[in-house]
Amino acid sequence: MWRIRTRRARRVTVSAEHVRDSVQRRLLSLPFDPLAMDRAELRVRLATVLREEAPLCPPAEAAKVLDDLVDDVGGLGPLERWLDDAAVNEIMVNGPGRAYIERHGRLEPVALDLDADAIARLAQRVIAPLGLRLDHASPLVDARLADGSRLHAVLPPLAPDGPCITIRRFVARDASLDAFGIDADAGRFVHAMVRAGWNILVAGATSAGKTTLCNALARAIDPHDRIVTIEETTELALPHPHVVRLEARPANAEGVGAVSVRDLVRTALRMRPTV
């Protein structure tokens, strides 16, 4: 908060929140889509609007307001600082004032000053461009962020303690089987299983490394093979030249348009997969 002395010597108190609200209202009338810009371009545009809306804002405070605006308008607001942290694998908002992150394999609580309405708005900001809905009639939603991360949101009454958001970061790890501590004999056996086209089930707890292991196993696939992958949410990153990726789709806001994994299995069989 800062004070501005006018020509009449009156002191006018202006808050950072007031300036942010003013800029965001102004954005509604501007001829550009913030979500279609990269962060650098968005920052330049917002800096211009901020100077016009609050020309007397002190530079240090303006820089802080601008940082918040870029996160709020072009990202997920206060969650952006953890999305920018490569060490964070998961972000869990368990209702107003309660949040955790998983970093380096450990869960830790973090400070997050968001009320129930703000949490719901964050989720709706992600799903709106995807044609999905999140409301009392449809209180569950799954969506994918631009970087491939998964977002799952739940609203009351299914979540009685307030809206919940869980974001699972997409991190493509290029690991070999050696990274899993598999000895040479076991490694050769698994390699032979993949090359022979055996059915292999990879199971484990959340964050156990199932996707990373699948990516490692895929290294044994002949690079000349045509691969068709089917996923509920795209996570695999196979290092092969001939890969077709299929992803299931939930129903849209009208409750239609869903494409299940079962549907994609039938589709894949008509696409001549080698594996």
Question: In CATH, what number is assigned to the domain containing residue 229?
Answer: 3.40.50.300
Q: Give the span between the Cα atoms of 50 and 57, in whole angstroms.
A: 9
DSSP for residue 35 = G
Mean pLDDT, to the nearest integer, of 213-220?
88
The residues, any chain, with a CB within 8 Å of residue 250's CB and separated by 6 or more, are: 132, 141, 142, 258
Tokens of 114: 């968001």
The CA distance from 244 to 273, in Å, is 9
Most confident of 164-173, 206-215, 250-259, 261-270: 261-270
The maximal CA–CA distance of the chain, rounded, in angstroms, is 85
Residues 57 and 98 in one domain: no
- Indicate whether 275 belongs to any domain: no
CATH code: domain of residue 112 = 3.30.450.90
What pTM was estimated for this model as a whole? 0.65
Instruction: Tell me which residue range forms the domain holding 161.
Output: 79-168
d(CA 211, CA 35): 29
Domain termination site, one of 168, 185, 203: 168
Indicate whether 242 and 219 sit together in one domain. Answer: yes
Last residue of a domain, one of 110, 141, 168: 168
Residues 37-86 pLDDT 10s = 667 777 787 788 777 777 777 788 778 777 777 766 666 778 888 888 88
Question: Which residues contact residue 38 at a Cβ distance below 8 angstroms, ignoring those fewer than 6 apart?
Answer: none
Greater confidence, 257 or 174?
257
Residue 274 lies in a domain: no
Q: What is the pLDDT of residues 109-154, one digit of tens each?
A: 999 888 898 899 888 878 877 778 888 888 998 888 877 788 999 9
Smallest CA-to-CA distance from 78 within 38, 124, 111, 44 is with 111
| Residue 227, domain member (yes or no) | yes
pLDDT of residue 171: 67
Residue 167: the pLDDT is: 93
Degrees, nearest 5: CA angle 164-157-130? 55
Eight-class DSSP state of 137? S
> Rounded CA gap, 227 and 218, in Å?
10
Average of per-residue pLDDT across 202-223: 87
Residue 47, token pair as written in the block: 């800096």
CA 129/CA 132 separation, integer angstroms: 8
In-domain check, residue 203: yes
What distance in Å separates the CA atoms of residue 28 and residue 155, rounded to the nearest whole number?
A: 27
Q: How large is the C-alpha radius of gyration of the chain?
A: 24
- Write out the H or E segment, with its range, that includes residue 108: strand 106-110
Q: How much is the pLDDT for 257?
A: 84
Contact 151, 145 (CB under 8 A): yes
Residue 258 shares a structural domain with residue 193: yes
State the total domains in the chain. Answer: 3
Residues 117 and 40 in one domain: no
Same domain, residue pair 130 and 161: yes
Residues belonging to the chain? 275
Say which residue the tokens 């060490």 belong to: 87
Picking from 58, 74, 90, the residue at the C-terminal end of a domain is 74
User: Comparing C-alpha atoms, which of 90, 88, 212, 206 is closest to residue 151?
Assistant: 90
Closest C-alpha to 260, from 271, 247, 273: 247
Residue 83 lies in a domain: yes
The pLDDT value recorded for residue 12 is: 38
Across residues 82-96, what is the average pLDDT? 90
H helix or E strand, kind and range, residue 102:
strand 99-103
Statement: residue 14 has pLDDT above 50: no
ω into 59 cis (within 30 of 0): no
